[in-house]
């Protein structure tokens, strides 16, 4: 689906930003969840190594190992249900870092509102009607008949027209 890792990251960031209607709150909650649950184990590991070397205490290190094992045990069914090999759950620190980068990029997309999809760059704005519409500039590929349509006063009509044109131009069978 994506030809490179950076395009996959950009695609997922776009998905996270637009499914939240460019609202950063759910993305910020997800980032907070990752920091609280993912970073906590690494902090316990770092402190556990320090406490073992300097103080001779092993309980912090045991807590960090237990956190890692419980996280892997929790993720194994999720990986299996999603069709991935169960052993990939051991690599969750790498996927956590990747997800953190994607969520930061999605947060930036929420801030700027500038979305690029299949070579077309649009600037999306949040409306009180909870409908995202393109504003500011017409797409570069000519998906719309004229730019006057973008400045119309009825955002719902524009949004329905955009969806209808995207569905008729779909590359999927």
Lookup result for tokens 């237990």 = 66
Q: In what order do the strands lie in the sheet with 133-135?
A: 114-117, 120-125, 133-135
Nearest to residue 112, comparing CAs of 103, 122, 120, 102?
122
Give Cβ neighbours of residue 123 (< 8 Å, ≥ 6 apart).
113, 114, 115, 134, 135, 136, 137
Q: What is the pTM of this model?
A: 0.61
Nearest Cα to Cα of residue 41 among 8, 79, 71, 77: 71
Task: Report pLDDT digits (tens) over 124-165.
Answer: 765 434 444 444 444 444 444 455 545 545 666 666 666 666
The model's pLDDT over 27-55, given as tens digits with 9 standing for 90+, comes to 889 888 888 887 778 888 888 899 888 88
Domain boundaries, the chain: 1-112, 113-173
Residue 89 in contact with residue 75, Cβ under 8 Å? yes
């Amino acid at each position: 689906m994506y030809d490179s890792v950076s395009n996959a990251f950009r695609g997922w960031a776009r998905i996270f930003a637009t499914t939240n209607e460019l609202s950063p709150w759910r993305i910020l909650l997800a980032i907070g969840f990752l920091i609280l649950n993912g970073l906590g184990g690494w902090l316990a590991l770092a402190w556990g190594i320090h406490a073992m070397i300097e103080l001779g205490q092993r309980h912090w290190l045991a807590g960090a190992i237990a956190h890692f094992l419980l996280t892997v045990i929790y993720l194994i069914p999720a990986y299996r249900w999603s069709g991935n090999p169960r052993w990939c759950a051991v690599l969750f620190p790498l996927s956590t870092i990747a997800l953190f980068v994607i969520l930061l990029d999605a947060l930036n997309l929420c801030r700027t509102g500038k979305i690029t999809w299949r070579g077309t760059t649009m600037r999306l704005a949040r409306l009180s009607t909870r409908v995202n519409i393109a504003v500011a500039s017409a797409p570069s590929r000519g998906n719309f008949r004229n730019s006057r349509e973008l400045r119309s006063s009825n955002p719902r009509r524009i949004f329905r027209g955009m969806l209808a044109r995207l569905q008729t131009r779909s590359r999927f069978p």
